[in-house]
Amino acid sequence: MEAIPYIRQLVKQGKNVAVFSCEDPYNTPFHHDLLGVNPHYVHFVPAAGSMISPASIDLGLQAKHIDAFGVFGHYGVIHGNEVCAAVKALAGDYSHYGPDLQKAIQRIAEKFAYKVDKGLKDNVLAWTEKQFQELKELIKYKQRTLKGAVKGPIEVFAGIVQNLEEGKKYSAEVIWHETIDQKLI
């Protein structure tokens, strides 16, 4: 299903939404549309490789009353280069990147092994699905343990953004989604 209409529907249902997405500038059109859904209800967390942040989950659950969390990977060919650069870097040498980006890529590498026999899109999908699974488990744990955390049902979703036309357009879809219900934990 298309990502922006899906998120818009969550907001119409009264959900407060948090989205983790790659900070890559080529994702700007997607991020612009995401924030355009309703900036009062969207907590946007950009990070290299769309890596989820446990601290942002705490903030979302306790202070912002977030009850819908998503994560989006991205891919495409921009100016002749494949993106997501952070995930693609796992397949080779990334010593030419700045030291902080190298550390971020190393954190991804601790959780994910790039499969060189697969293309970048398949690796980004696999990494995003792994992030989705981790996000679900973290939310379940944090709902039980954090004082003042949102206790009702929480929507968790993940998907992919394909960057098009040299990063000027995109297509984005939600691939995985699940409701975590505190009563079931």
How is the chain split into domains, by residue range?
3-184
In the chain, % of residues over pLDDT 90: 82
pLDDT confidence band for 40 (50 / 70 / 90): confident
pLDDT per position as a tens digit, 43-99: 899 999 999 999 999 999 999 999 999 999 999 998 888 899 899 999 998 999 999
For residue 183, the model assigns a pLDDT of 63
d(CA 7, CA 98) in angstroms, rounded, equals: 34
The answer as to CATH 2.60.40.3140 being correct for domain 3-184 is no
State mean pLDDT over 138-157: 94
For residue 96, the model assigns a pLDDT of 94
Within 13 Å and on the Cβ side, how many CA atoms surround 166? 2
Higher pLDDT, 167 or 57: 57
For residue 112, the model assigns a pLDDT of 97
- Contacts of residues 136-143 at CB distance under 8 Å and 24 or more positions apart, as own/partner, are 136/178, 136/180, 138/52, 138/54, 138/57, 139/57, 139/61, 139/69, 139/180, 140/180, 140/185, 142/54, 142/57, 142/58, 142/61, 143/61, 143/180, 143/182, 143/185
For residue 42, the model assigns a pLDDT of 83
d(CA 58, CA 113) in angstroms, rounded, equals: 27
For residue 134, the model assigns a pLDDT of 97
pLDDT per position as a tens digit, 88-135: 999 998 999 999 999 999 999 999 999 999 999 999 999 999 999 999
Write out the two tokens for 124.
Answer: 């980004």
pLDDT at residue 151 greater than cutoff 90: no
pLDDT confidence band for 166 (50 / 70 / 90): confident
